[in-house]
Amino acid sequence: MPASEASLEVQIREATYDDPLCLSVLAMQVFLDTYATQGIRPAIAREVLSGYSEAVFRGAVTDEMARIHVAEVSGHLVGFAHVTLGAQHELSPPGNQSELLRLYVQEPFVGQGIGTMLLAQAEAAAAQGGSTVLWLTPWVHNHRALQFYKRRGYEDYGLTQFVFEGESHDNRLYAKHIAAAPSAA
């Protein structure tokens, strides 16, 4: 069912132990829609099945260094943001770093503000975890994502690589300074 801006009621919440199956399938769908634009070949199929399995997301949901927030519309998962606290990258600016590992929104819901809501939640989660810098590595050919992050204050810090099955794919490292949440005294 296509999303309608007028009737869209989005709920953002923390992922629970009940979410890994839907997180897995949504991640596979968005990954394939974004990166398998010329079809499926064995390397892509293996990357999707190994990197986006239900077991991978079950581990992430229980990982104390991960923060996953999901977006639901009418009880259906339509997007998620996955932050890894303390993840470091040499290209990222100095500070207490965390990585926005993934921010995925199902295609029919793109342009509805869900990505912006998830990004705000990811930034808040990173700040609450003590981070002052949030970084990510979008693919150089994902122009929509590159523009999305630039419009939200992320700066380009250089070229990096995503490697799977011996293939190297160009990504950019984008980062933003965020205010760490004050400590409770």
Q: Would you say 39 and 144 are in contact if contact means Cβ atoms under 8 Å apart?
A: no
Q: What average pLDDT does this structure show over 78-84?
A: 98
- Strand ranges of the sheet holding 10-14, from the earlier edge strand across to the other edge: 10-14, 66-73, 76-85, 97-105, 133-136, 167-177, 155-164
pLDDT at 168: 85
The pLDDT tens digits of the residues spanning 125-169 come to 999 999 999 999 999 999 999 999 999 999 999 999 988 888 888
Instruction: Taking each helix axis as running N to C, give the angle between helix 20-35 and helix 42-51, from 0 to 180 degrees, rounded to the nearest 10.
Output: 150
- Residue 165: per-residue pLDDT: 80
User: What residue segments make up the domains of the chain, in order of their start?
Assistant: 5-177
pLDDT of amino acid 167: 82
Task: Please tell me the pTM assigned to this model.
Answer: 0.92
Distance separating alpha carbons of residues 17 and 39, to the nearest angstrom: 32
CA atoms within a 13 Å half-sphere pointing along the CA-CB vector of 125: 27
What are the C-alpha distances in Å from 39 to residues 31, 36, 45, 161, 175?
12, 5, 10, 22, 31
What local confidence, expressed as pLDDT, does residue 183 receive?
62
The confidence score (pLDDT) of residue 166 equals 82
Q: Chain-wide mean pLDDT for the chain?
A: 93
Q: Give the per-residue pLDDT at 184.
A: 52
Q: Average pLDDT of 85-109?
A: 97
**What's the pLDDT at 4?**
47
Nearest CA-CA partner of 15 in 97, 79, 111: 79
Q: Say if residue 1's pLDDT is above 50.
A: no
Tokens read off for 156 = 């380009």
What is the spatial distance between Cα 133 and Cα 93, in angstroms, rounded to a whole number? Answer: 7
Neighbours of 51 (CB within 10 A): 13
- Which one is the CATH code of 5-177: 3.40.50.11890, 3.40.630.30, 3.30.750.24, 1.10.3720.10? 3.40.630.30
